Amino acid sequence: MVKVKIIDENLNSIKILFTEADRSLLNAIRRTLMVDTPKMAIDTVRFELGLVEQDGETWESTGPIPDETVAQRLAMVPIVTRHDDFYFQNMCPSCKDLVEDQRGCPQCSVIYACKAFGTEEGKMIYAGDMKPMGDDSLSIIDEFKEIPITKLFKGQMIEFFATAIMGRGRDHAKWSPVCGVSFISRKIGVIKNKSKSKILWDLDLEITEKDFKNGKLEDIEKVAILERELHHVGEGTEEMREFKDAIVIEEVPEEFILSFETDGSMTPRVAFEKATEELSSRFDNISQDIVSAL
């Protein structure tokens, strides 16, 4: 049975160790993370056009970049994703029976409003200038509030309403919550020739003989360091002639390390849990189809 252990985790990235697994499983999880993990993202933007009179001045809804470019930038702004609070629009109890253009309610969408005016010297408009209509907990995360959207000068203004809905990365990259998704075989360091391995220790690098237990180095982080340090006695060095393969890096059968980052719309742990749920339900559906076919 496949076993999973989180070996490193922080706010936006994670490393997970799989044992008793194979490459096909890891690749399925990798693809599911990228294209099937549900995520909220801005899908439509309605720009208010025209002239506005304010404080005795006239402001026009124009800017230095086209509305289409602004909308594209808004689509890539990470939106807080709370899977338990929102439905896909085609599964929403209130909207699923409506035509697509009429869908949208507090159970399946979030509307962000923005109204800003330029200045003589130019004013940058950021993602943080968008405010959710309703629940303030859905505000743009502090980490992403300074994502630039456009810059306005005197006489210019922008006003829009952006609607975020749940989607999947297979439909558009804006709904993919992860990046840098990869997996590698787990590796260990093995001393093959104790006397010749002293050549590496004499270089006084970070990894020492004391890090090895019974001739093996299994700590994942230290193995990565050892792999780099072996270049000092590897091909192209004078030490290689005598060192040869005194210490080698070996792959551990059926063990893999999966690593990825999220865009901040959800934690890496949540992304992984949702991906495995999606994958599990897919295999359940396949099993049911096979049973019914037989």
Question: Per the domain annotation, does 294 fall within a domain?
Answer: no
**Do both 200 and 158 map to the same domain?**
no
**Per-residue DSSP letter, 206:** S
**Do both 83 and 129 map to the same domain?**
yes
**Do both 148 and 58 map to the same domain?**
yes
Please tell me the predicted confidence (pLDDT) of residue 286.
56
Q: Which domain holds residue 107?
A: 39-174
Cα separation values, 57 from 52, 116, 154, 156, 281, Å: 8, 14, 10, 11, 58
Please tell me the predicted confidence (pLDDT) of residue 287.
55
Question: Per the domain annotation, does 275 fall within a domain?
Answer: no
Question: Per the domain annotation, does 227 fall within a domain?
Answer: yes
221 closest CA partner among 257, 175, 252, 269: 257
Please tell me the predicted confidence (pLDDT) of residue 236.
87
**Do both 32 and 69 map to the same domain?**
no
CA distance 58 to 132: 27
CA distance 27 to 256: 11
Please tell me the predicted confidence (pLDDT) of residue 57.
82
Backbone angles phi, psi at 60, to 5 degrees: -115, 140
**Do both 113 and 226 map to the same domain?**
no
**Do both 201 and 250 map to the same domain?**
yes
**Do both 140 and 190 map to the same domain?**
no
**Do both 169 and 50 map to the same domain?**
yes
**Do both 61 and 127 map to the same domain?**
yes
**Mean pLDDT, consecutive 10-residue segments, the chain of 294 residues?**
92 95 94 96 93 82 90 95 94 92 92 94 95 90 94 93 96 95 96 94 94 94 95 89 93 96 95 93 63 54
Q: How many domains does the chain have?
A: 2
**Do both 46 and 144 map to the same domain?**
yes
Backbone angles phi, psi at 151, to 5 degrees: -130, 130
Please tell me the predicted confidence (pLDDT) of residue 291.
56
Q: For position 231, which CATH number holds?
A: 3.30.1360.10
What is the H or E stretch that residue 25 is in? helix 23-35
**Do both 170 and 43 map to the same domain?**
yes
